[in-house]
Structure 1
Amino acid sequence: MDTLVLWDIDLTLVDYTGIGRKWYAEALAKVVGKELAHLPTFPGRTERSLAKELLKEHGEAHDDEHVERILAELEAIGLAARPALPTLGRALDGAPEILAALGSREGVVQSLVTGNLASLADCKLAAFDLARHVDLSIGGYGAISEHRHDLVEAAMAQASAKHGVTFAPKSVVVIGDTPMDVAAGRHHGTVTVGVATGRHSADQLADSGADVVLPNLADTPAVLAALLR
Structure 2
Amino acid sequence: MHTLVLWDIDLTLVDYSGLGRTWYARALANLVGKPMTHQPFFPGRTERSLAREILAAHDEPDGDEQVERLFAELEAIALAERESLPMLGRALAGAPEILAVLARRAGVVQSLVTGNLPTLASCKLAAFDLHHHVDLDIGGYGSLSEHRHDLVEAAIRQATDKHGHSFAPRSVVVVGDTPADVAAGRHHGTVTVGVATGRFTVEELADSGADVVLPDLADTDAVLAALEAS
TM-score, length basis structure 1? 0.99
Equivalent residue pairs, number: 229
**Which ranges of 4 or more aligned residues in structure 1 deviate by more than 3 Å?**
none
Query: Deviation digits for residues 170-212 of structure 1, max 9, x if unmatched?
Result: 0000000000000000000000000000000000000000000
1:100 alignment partner in structure 2: 100
Q: Per-residue deviation at 1:69?
A: 0.7
Q: Structure 2 regions of 5+ residues with no counterpart? A: none
1:193 alignment partner in structure 2: 193
Tell me, what secondary structure is at the counterpart of 1:192?
strand
Query: Deviation digits for residues 50-90 of structure 1, max 9, x if unmatched?
Result: 00000001111111111111111011111111000000000
What amino acid is the match of 1:36? M
Are 1:133 and 2:133 counterparts?
yes
Q: Structure 1 regions of 5+ residues with no counterpart? A: none
Tell me, what secondary structure is at the counterpart of 1:189?
coil
Correspondence list, 1:84-95, <5 A: 84-95=84-95
- Measure the CA separation in 1 of the matches of 2:17 and 2:89: 7
Q: Give RMSD over aligned pairs.
A: 0.6
Q: Per-residue deviation at 1:11?
A: 0.1
- Measure the CA separation in 2 of the matches of 1:69 and 1:119: 14
TM-score, length basis structure 2? 0.99
1:29 alignment partner in structure 2: 29
Are 1:155 and 2:169 counterparts?
no
Q: Per-residue deviation at 1:119?
A: 1.1
Q: Per-residue deviation at 1:2?
A: 1.0
- Measure the CA separation in 1 of the matches of 2:222 and 2:104: 16
2:65 alignment partner in structure 1: 65
- Measure the CA separation in 2 of the matches of 1:214 and 1:160: 28
- Measure the CA separation in 2 of the matches of 1:190 and 1:162: 19
Task: Calculate percent identity across the aligned residue pairs.
Answer: 74
Query: Deviation digits for residues 29-58 of structure 1, max 9, x if unmatched?
Result: 011110010011100000010000000011
- Measure the CA separation in 2 of the matches of 1:226 and 1:21: 32
What amino acid is the match of 1:84? S
2:43 alignment partner in structure 1: 43
Tell me, what secondary structure is at the counterpart of 1:141?
coil
1:10 alignment partner in structure 2: 10
What amino acid is the match of 2:142? G
